[in-house]
Structure 1
């Protein structure tokens, strides 16, 4: 029994080398790659992120603060906690984790072993810790540790951390500042005061009290100390993350955090992260947006998000050019008429279903107006979608119930609160993000099957362990395939009418949000899809100011966003045969649209044919009425359960303030008269 431990000790002593401080940092480098494995970026602690210092350059009380936080018996223990190792080993044998670590063990783990939870790691950690303790002094071990440990904010080592948090060299740190840095070591993503001030203060107090208990700080010094102010957080590497890639990296890190992979693991685990981003599509998305904004007013911003409907994989993600500013792929704005497909979705699932051929009076009424050219005496739902007739969709939303519309949007993939909806939800008066809208449209494109939108496909540690693999699931059916195909049919005339064809079948919708001032728009959208790719484009500003081109023309959904969408989608789908991008046979639910023979059991859609004579887009689509006015609309009757989350603040002015909502008209299912053809935009 004695020979076996000695034999294992001897083998390990010979086999395992003592790591250097550089080994400790190099093993922590994280790589983020495109879907094909090509490097997107490497989070390397460059010279600006790590500067080695000597023991005497680190104030004594700063060193003591670290010991108070991490290992108060450092100078007296043998470099490892045998009881802790045994407890951890036993826990792992029982299927758990655990076991504390000395500073020597932490250094060894970061430098050589990695963070694998296994008996092998504990064995290796024990042997190397013994060797380090035998061959290096305590001061050398502590200094190596302080030169390699990750402090958050992209800072490896105490000198880099001192600059990142306080803008000064380590030699100028006060005991209170040293205690703050010592406190964040264990979990920078939790105890950075810029992330959670309350937890940071609690942790700082724990370290300061520990210094007093060890005699390293007097009670009077502790009483006089105040929590130190820190600098504003900066990007880890301005050269690498200041451009559009910054938003992508931040979104990846956020998703890792949601998967339980912390910022600290990201920075210290040597992780190899494979994303779902297609390198070519990403380049095209960025180039399309940048080309559209070139030479335009400086206040214009844009975002592009593309999602594979079959998997939920985000294949392109552009949140703007300033990688440390707002990520416009996730900023929430009113979506305007891009919400109208969810009204159709709710109508098709109504009892009884309301089919695309249901006819409404679409003329303007008190409190409701249409965009120029969108009036229609008698239009069916598909024609109203092509025209983007506000009156008809507000009536339809009232008929099926606003809660049903909200439920349909949530079923498709909208996650923002849609609290207390009314019929104006059809006009997009609740805020959503471009990422949400792309996901919801992808569900429609995918035949009613929702896949969680995601950027991370795989995460592997430096020692080859797979921490995470995106599930290869069939998704979650949210509504029937025939219902989804009918929604597609309703949307199929929009892109041809706006001259936004791409040479293959597409379904889409424009969205333009008007300010309180006539003729001024705040946000413009185009969202559309093929069966294989759903893409949303947004154009707006930071301050919700009017969006105009350099010539002063108001920007609408079919103009700048539509052109960005068209340019990107033409390139993204160029290599796919059009025959493989069919939406399949259209089988009407309820009343078929008027461009089909009456009572036709099924007919393939003719919407794929490009329209070379399509008239220009109507100007403004979303014109909601006063939210404070008492509603005369029918109450919801669908049984849908409204969300109870608080509604986000309104960012856009309501152009209809002071108007009373209209009472909806009775609908009819008779076909429109032949003389009134509303399938093209100059209707009414």
Structure 2
């Protein structure tokens, strides 16, 4: 009996000692435990999603490819599969599975080290988000304590939601939504039982059980998960058999990033980083809605590329991409990765033989023929000659030789015969296109160059270029508010200017011809430089600079008379902003790419508003729009008549054809195109705005115009129309040889026709003024 009492005393003492040790161990372990309350405000690194205006996805920005979704957006079987694989008693325990820990401890003791964890899903959440991944008993104890605490703080569904969104599943995919897209090209709500079981088998070791790297092991884990679901009674035997026999087709959901409108997407990324910082953009899960019309953007991208290729071809052959010795032929062909081809697709090919009639080429395991007819443009470049003056190539041997690697486009694909191909050439000349709704400010399309992957420099938003005559509407708008009318007569005659340093400047018209007394309307329609200089001199260059600023121009505007001819420097996007005042009736609006930004929790972070400023009277805006319509009907923009719609526009060409522009608009759509080299140099003879930029504008606009009803410019109440004699600028009489219907602000319309001796009485005909800026020499 005494022995029994002693034994019981030892037991009680042992219990107290164990309890004391346990309490001590608990307090020791919990001293530096991290706080877990932040899990209630779960904010993992999430991919930012950028969408077009119709909701189609443009692209993603992320460091970890994760898309946060609630349990309700996952297929129910997906949730069950992960529970079966990782923690079937999740909804029964209080954060820790003691039997599971005991089993793991026994296995670890037998193995002489930690080989199994026995963690619940709650513990895995704690481990991945609050603790280090090291395997130690100290970390395990902390994990258990935090798991119990977390279960008192969050609901089971909240913990499971965190787990299924946080877990890494291989292939750069975090969470079940990203994994569903990466492995099967579907959303988590669309996963089948077989697919869900495969994903649920990945958390144990994502790389070890990857279906891409280890399909056999992935299959073993899938079968294990399916068996667990069956044994738990969560699926029927028939469902199990169907899932076991379901063939799995792997394939990632295509990432649309940088496919459509890459320059637009990059500008959106830049603006987001400026506003929210890189961490938020790459990990904040922002939902961004842009103003892009994806259909417009696709058409604009293709129009710009086609136009730049045609511009480059007009001035001859720049040579092959590279030349290979015979010993390098097979290496080049073996390295080619050719996918499916369609007519019109481009690819690089190896020239293996050349005759006068054409070249034979190889690509991959196929061959083709490039006929000399497709090389007719490929002469030796001569920028001093117009294309029609340079002649055509009729001998393929003058263009390519064996060993040359060249670009071709597919004309016809034949089964067992050489493909028919066309010689192509990537342009070195660059360009930009901006298209926007002038009423709302929404930028529908933005192209910043020929190929984003060749150069990420965005010429639409970053390139400051001289607009040439495309600046003249701004000059003439200031003139209309300072004593001129569309019927003013201004002298078109030689002028020589001497600046303060004694340097001489002798501006000329593009044609090199002087036309004498000229109607202001005609000076703008025909883009007469000397008339524009005289108008700017009388109005005052400071007045023109102020008008440019009022229109929103933020580029370079040096206060000298050459500014009137477009010597300033502006980005295409900024010049489009200035032009919005014409179709808007006098107010300019800031272009907008981003419409809204929403947090992953649905909080509205940003909603765009229209930024509008007064720039000119509505009558002035209408008169300029009317005159720019005549530029299209009778002037340098005549090619745009092909649209058969009311369109206004202005070409622009700088000295030596270094920059070519066309700015064209209707009440519902404004589009600007620029073409030129990144390093300023001549593009070639006659590469004017009408020849280089306008065809791109027409190609784009002709394809999008059917989406809009025909709409003309509406005159404001203060406008009157009058028939004007082109020779005198007075109201036209019955005997007028040439006359135009022109708009005037009420009260400024001209008087009836008078003799030539009265011309000097017209305020617009005066050539005086501006002498304080430059000395005028005749």
| TM-score between both structures, scaled by the size of structure 1 | 0.54
Match of 2:308 in 1: 293
- Among 56, 64, 86, which residue is 1:38 paired with? 56
Q: How far does residue 129 in structure 1 lie from its aligned partner after superposition?
A: 12
What SS does structure 1 have at the residue aligned with 2:55? coil
Q: How far does residue 242 in structure 1 lie from its aligned partner after superposition?
A: 6.1
Alignment partner of 1:342 is 2:478: no
CA contact (8 A) 2:465 2:571 kept: yes
What SS does structure 1 have at the residue aligned with 2:690? coil
| TM-score between both structures, scaled by the size of structure 2 | 0.48
CA contact (8 A) 1:381 1:593 kept: no
- 1:255–1:555: structure 2 CA closer, same or farther, 3 Å change rule? same
Match of 1:326 in 2: 457
User: 2 CA distance for matches of 1:562 and 1:345?
Assistant: 23
- 1:593–1:390: structure 2 CA closer, same or farther, 3 Å change rule? farther
CA contact (8 A) 2:438 2:583 kept: yes
Q: Which has the higher strand share?
A: 2
Match of 2:278 in 1: 263
Alignment partner of 1:390 is 2:503: no
User: 2 CA distance for matches of 1:407 and 1:603?
Assistant: 30
User: 2 CA distance for matches of 1:664 and 1:155?
Assistant: 73
Greater RCO, CA 8 A, separation 6+ = 1
CA contact (8 A) 1:356 1:593 kept: no
Q: Output aligned runs, 1:94-493, within 5 Å.
A: 131=150, 245-258=261-274, 260-294=275-309, 296-297=311-312, 298-320=427-449, 321-323=451-453, 324-330=455-461, 331-350=463-482, 353-366=483-496, 367-372=506-511, 375-418=514-557, 420-471=558-609, 475-493=612-630
User: 2 CA distance for matches of 1:346 and 1:593?
Assistant: 21
What SS does structure 1 have at the residue aligned with 2:578? helix
- Among 698, 703, 709, which residue is 1:577 paired with? 709
Q: How far does residue 472 in structure 1 lie from its aligned partner after superposition?
A: 5.3
Q: How far does residue 245 in structure 1 lie from its aligned partner after superposition?
A: 3.3
Higher alpha-carbon Rg? 2
- 1:155–1:327: structure 2 CA closer, same or farther, 3 Å change rule? farther
CA contact (8 A) 1:398 1:635 kept: no
Structure 1 unaligned segments of length 5 or more: list them: 1-14, 49-103, 109-126, 136-143, 157-238, 515-519, 607-630, 637-660, 666-684
User: 2 CA distance for matches of 1:494 and 1:334?
Assistant: 20
CA contact (8 A) 2:293 2:445 kept: yes
User: 1 CA distance for matches of 2:484 and 2:57?
Assistant: 50
Match of 1:535 in 2: 671
Q: How far does residue 593 in structure 1 lie from its aligned partner after superposition?
A: 5.7
CA contact (8 A) 1:358 1:593 kept: no
Match of 1:510 in 2: 651
CA contact (8 A) 2:587 2:616 kept: yes
CA contact (8 A) 2:474 2:544 kept: yes
Deviation string 1:349-391 (CA, Å, 9 cap, x unpaired) is: 22xx311111111133341211117632121111001111000
What SS does structure 2 have at the residue aligned with 1:573? helix
Match of 1:663 in 2: 776
User: 1 CA distance for matches of 2:670 and 2:147?
Assistant: 52
Q: How far does residue 133 in structure 1 lie from its aligned partner after superposition?
A: 13
Match of 1:621 in 2: none
- 1:589–1:436: structure 2 CA closer, same or farther, 3 Å change rule? farther
CA contact (8 A) 1:33 1:39 kept: yes
Deviation string 1:58-114 (CA, Å, 9 cap, x unpaired) is: xxxxxxxxxxxxxxxxxxxxxxxxxxxxxxxxxxxxxxxxxxxxxx99968xxxxxx
User: 2 CA distance for matches of 1:370 and 1:465?
Assistant: 58
CA contact (8 A) 1:343 1:405 kept: yes
Q: Output aligned runs, 1:8-23, within 5 Å.
A: none
User: 2 CA distance for matches of 1:604 and 1:262?
Assistant: 52
User: 2 CA distance for matches of 1:410 and 1:545?
Assistant: 28
Q: How far does residue 448 in structure 1 lie from its aligned partner after superposition?
A: 1.0
User: 1 CA distance for matches of 2:53 and 2:669?
Assistant: 16
Q: How far does residue 585 in structure 1 lie from its aligned partner after superposition?
A: 6.2
What SS does structure 1 have at the residue aligned with 2:664? strand
- 1:416–1:317: structure 2 CA closer, same or farther, 3 Å change rule? same
Q: How far does residue 16 in structure 1 lie from its aligned partner after superposition?
A: 10
User: 2 CA distance for matches of 1:20 and 1:45?
Assistant: 20
What SS does structure 2 have at the residue aligned with 1:535? strand
Instruction: After superposing the two structures, state which structure 1 stretch, 273-282 or 406-415, moved more.
Output: 406-415
What SS does structure 2 have at the residue aligned with 1:663? strand
- Among 598, 604, 609, which residue is 2:731 paired with? 598
- 1:303–1:594: structure 2 CA closer, same or farther, 3 Å change rule? farther
- Aligned CA-pair RMSD: 4.2
Alignment partner of 1:29 is 2:50: no
What SS does structure 1 have at the residue aligned with 2:592? coil
- 1:346–1:476: structure 2 CA closer, same or farther, 3 Å change rule? same
Match of 2:640 in 1: 500
What SS does structure 2 have at the residue aligned with 1:559? helix
User: 2 CA distance for matches of 1:20 and 1:413?
Assistant: 43
- 1:485–1:662: structure 2 CA closer, same or farther, 3 Å change rule? farther
What SS does structure 2 have at the residue aligned with 1:528? strand
User: 2 CA distance for matches of 1:41 and 1:245?
Assistant: 10
User: 1 CA distance for matches of 2:599 and 2:460?
Assistant: 29
User: 1 CA distance for matches of 2:480 and 2:568?
Assistant: 22
Match of 1:75 in 2: none
What SS does structure 1 have at the residue aligned with 2:58? strand
User: 2 CA distance for matches of 1:592 and 1:485?
Assistant: 17
User: 2 CA distance for matches of 1:106 and 1:452?
Assistant: 46
Match of 2:361 in 1: none
User: 2 CA distance for matches of 1:565 and 1:296?
Assistant: 14
- 1:283–1:373: structure 2 CA closer, same or farther, 3 Å change rule? farther
Give the paired residue count.
417
User: 2 CA distance for matches of 1:482 and 1:402?
Assistant: 22
Deviation string 1:567-618 (CA, Å, 9 cap, x unpaired) is: 222222223222x333436965999864697299x97879xxxxxxxxxxxx
- 1:500–1:587: structure 2 CA closer, same or farther, 3 Å change rule? farther
